[in-house]
Chain A
């Protein structure tokens, strides 16, 4: 184990330490951040830039260990007909957090999530979408997405590709950008925040930043409505306390709710709204079926931009897809759904004859494409994160996740499938083969897009944190986590989480 050097006169103290029996420096920090994943690292770096003294606590080590990862185990239940991975498989517990296994798909949250919609029971983000504009632009940089441009038409023109849909009142073309660690491609996987920013963290001045690894959360140290520090347990069992003017809980959704539930056991006001842990959401990942597309369209036409990654003028990768328009959602009582196409090699009945029909119609032959959807889940009160009755090996109650889905979401998938199949057919796609006919439609949550459970609302009777992400029950405890999402849209949550971290850093700077 690397020990912190202790001769400041000759060797400055390392910024990144592995916590052990050797006591960490007794520095008082401006901000203590719990969790060194995407949100925690961005927050720490942003606060450093504004001159704050920051302590970043990470329960895991610099790289993966079985012992640390086992602390993410927990009980999961889900409805019949669905699937859900084990809790310790959907997230990672070491420096960089779950960015160590994400695929880097990024898109800002849909605009309609910022206004009440009947289909989600009137739920909405309680801030204007414009409040996140600047934060999104900076989050774009942290995630290495290239220029902050998501307009599909602009990007299609820049790359010289055809839009997947035009003139449809049901589908809009949309863009995903990809977190690209190389910057100038080819795309080789998403930014691992721990690897990418470790050097930046290590290069900070020792009196401005401390990153403590192996710092297993034990409890918040409190004085009335203030959190004055965070007590942790090192791997060797020694206990340490890090003190700060403000504390930010920047863990993933499940872990954040878990720690807040532990806090609520001592301070019931944390759950004054009665909504702590409730309304956990995922994105429904569904294979909808197979569409047969004209080979020419796949190679160079309307579907080339959907099936293959494109390059923006700055070399950054992006991909086009389609999503339900707001008017279609309102007309059909649907939530946000985005669709993507992938080339497929399925062995399908009658496919040669279908191909012959289309060749007879003057087309250049057909290629099978798999159509899949990412659908916004309606918030369900009993979809919840609670605490188990057993502890992990550092004496914290394990989490228990009961993922639930509104039956209307399943019905909506059928409606959305029929709609998109028709619209794609109108754009030039040939026959569609429904996955329910194929017997392959599986609704799962393979993305591990954990959201909700500690939602943002200005009213402490309705939410756990306010619009500045401050926990209502405390004056100086904040939450930088997707747990605050009141609704999840269909966009992958990481970019929005990163934007929230940037926005919180700004708010803490003003409040300092």
Chain B
């Protein structure tokens, strides 16, 4: 894990009821590890507690790729490594066709491994991009909220946030 993500690893995580309606996507689950810039299509309503949205529209091309049985691991990724969503967004915000998805994801995961960019999800060590993508694809009925306890560094928008989703 690089320094940036180590910083974010301190984000407190808790289980709560969703604060918004069913129309909000998983992407609207909030964490303190991203910048505030999100496209309207994927923005979540900020909660009264000051939680933040993370943009997950970048994951839409991959949405049909994973079986429903992947959801427990995806939810665990969101709990254990919410910061990985930012990382995945950086790596996967590219034009991609259905037939290209696996190759693009494989390249990103290989690059992660070469840089030791890995996170631990439910005890399993996986490439950060994969964890982030799965976290971004958590279904909306997931009973999870990630509290934001933003630090000064975490609140600063990153280049990745500014670039956000390309579709």
Chain A interface residues (CB < 8 Å from chain B): 292, 348-350, 352-357, 359-362, 418, 421-422, 425-426, 431-434, 437-438
Contact = CB atoms under 8 A, between A and B. Distances in A.
B67 to A, nearest CB: 5
A468 B136 CA distance: 66
Contacts of B121: 431
A353 B113 contact: no
Contacts, number: 68
Given A361-B102, A434-B125, A356 B113 contact: no
25 contacts: A349-B122, A350-B72, A350-B76, A350-B122, A350-B124, A352-B69, A353-B72, A353-B73, A353-B74, A353-B76, A355-B69, A356-B70, A357-B70, A357-B134, A361-B102, A361-B105, A361-B106, A422-B116, A422-B118, A426-B113, A426-B114, A431-B121, A431-B126, A432-B125, A434-B125
A421 B130 CA distance: 16
B20 interface: no
B73 A357 contact: yes
B70 A353 contact: yes
Interface of B: 65-67, 69-74, 76, 102, 105-106, 110, 113-114, 116, 118, 120-127, 130, 134
A425 B113 contact: yes
- Identify the interface centre among B65, B70, B105, B126: most chain A CB within 10 Å of its CB: B70
Contacts of A359: 67
Nearest to B115: A422
A455 B102 CA distance: 55
A432 B118 CA distance: 11
A426 B117 CA distance: 13
A418 B125 CA distance: 10
A426 B114 CA distance: 8
A422 B113 contact: yes
A438 B122 CA distance: 10
A348 B127 CA distance: 19
A426 B110 contact: yes
Contacts of A431: 121, 124-126
A360 B70 contact: yes
A447 to B, nearest CB: 27
B118 A353 contact: no
Contacts of A361: 65, 102, 105-106
B95 to A, nearest CB: 20
Contacts of B126: 431
Contacts of A349: 122-123
A465 B118 CA distance: 49
A356 B124 contact: no
Contacts of B65: 360-361
B66 A360 contact: yes
Given A354-B73, A433-B125, A434-B123, 8 more contacts: A350-B124, A357-B70, A357-B130, A360-B65, A361-B106, A425-B127, A434-B125, A437-B120
A353 B125 contact: no
A355 B102 CA distance: 16
Nearest to A437: B123
B107 to A, nearest CB: 12
A356 B69 contact: yes
A362 B70 contact: no
A361 B126 CA distance: 14
Contacts of B76: 350, 353
B110 A360 contact: no
B125 A350 contact: no
Contacts of A355: 69
Nearest to A425: B113
Contact of A433 (B66, B73, B106, B123): B123
A354 B113 contact: no
A433 B76 CA distance: 15
B73 A362 contact: no
Nearest to B69: A356
Contact of B125 (A360, A362, A421): A421
A422 B110 CA distance: 9
